[in-house]
Amino acid sequence: MFNLTPTVRNLLIANVLLLVITLNLSQIPVVEYGALFPVGSVFFQPWQFVTYMFLHGGWGHLIGNMFGLISFGPLLEQRWGGPRFLFFWLICGFGSGLLYEGVRAYELRPLTELRRDLVQNPTGGDFAELVRTARGSGAYAADEMALADALVRSPNDPTLRATVVQQTQQLYQSVLASPMLGASGALFGVLFAFAYLFPNTELMLLFFPFPIKAKYFVFFYAIYELYNGVHRTPGDNVAHFAHLGGLLIGFLVLKYWERGRAEFY
């Protein structure tokens, strides 16, 4: 049986309750207000850097993260105490979201620049490029390309120019309407802390046929996330860089706590 410590138990309850509310009370826009939308989205709010880590996309998503929390969190809470463990969980999740927003802004930069140019000076060629960039090759709608062609033929038509600007804004916001949610970033911070403090603890994992030490498990897991983040495949909606962000923040916090102490663990 899991020996749940108070803070771990409260985090578990909060995450479960919010998923139940999300799935059963559709009139409450939990995801719209709480998930982390890209900066520039009409749905973005600063508090989402904290609230997103308490929301999940379904029971499978929740169970995976909460299993990690109740497996590795109690030992850390026993070592640090509840307030410090809660701070560590929250700061890793916050830093994870912050890093992911930076990565996402970098990935969206070509689209953002096209949008800016189109709003200032709409042209058919730029609009067609925006559609291809936003939709992906072969996924764009025929009416969008027809509008681009019409503006190429009549570049000074005020109605067409206004329509292109409107469609540009709508298309850009539709791309920004995909939020991030889940406690994975905070969990990766906890995984790193566990491996840092108890590096030679042997873990028996479902997907490993033999015991593996915590330090090796976290190291290979980080390499896996980095590879998948850099070599992203179509349809992959996992925020790999958010996971790495939580791990990085966990490392920085632990090194800060370690300063000036003769014995940290």
DSSP 195-212: HHHSTT-EE--TT-SS-E
* pTM as predicted: 0.82
Higher model confidence: residue 210 or residue 107?
Answer: 107
For range 32-61, the mean pLDDT: 91
- Report the percent of the chain where pLDDT is more than 70: 85
Asked if pLDDT for residue 26 goes beyond 90, the answer is no
User: pLDDT at position 1, please?
Assistant: 45
Residues paired with residue 212 on neighbouring β-strands, in sequence order = 203
d(CA 154, CA 163): 13
Which helix H or strand E contains 202, and what residues bound it? strand 202-203
pLDDT of residue 160: 85
Ordered by start, the domain boundaries in the chain are 6-107+178-258, 109-175
- Give the type of residue at 190: V
Q: Which of 84-98, 99-113, 164-178 has the highest mean pLDDT?
A: 84-98
Which pLDDT value is given to residue 175?
84
Distance of CA 89 to the CA centre of its chain: 15
What's the CATH class of domain 6-107+178-258?
Answer: mainly alpha
Do residues 187 and 69 touch, judged by C-beta distance below 8 A?
Answer: yes
236 band by pLDDT with thresholds 50, 70 and 90: very low
Tens digit of pLDDT for each residue in 155-169?
888 888 898 889 888
Tokens 């559709």 — which residue?
26
Summary mean pLDDT of the chain:
83
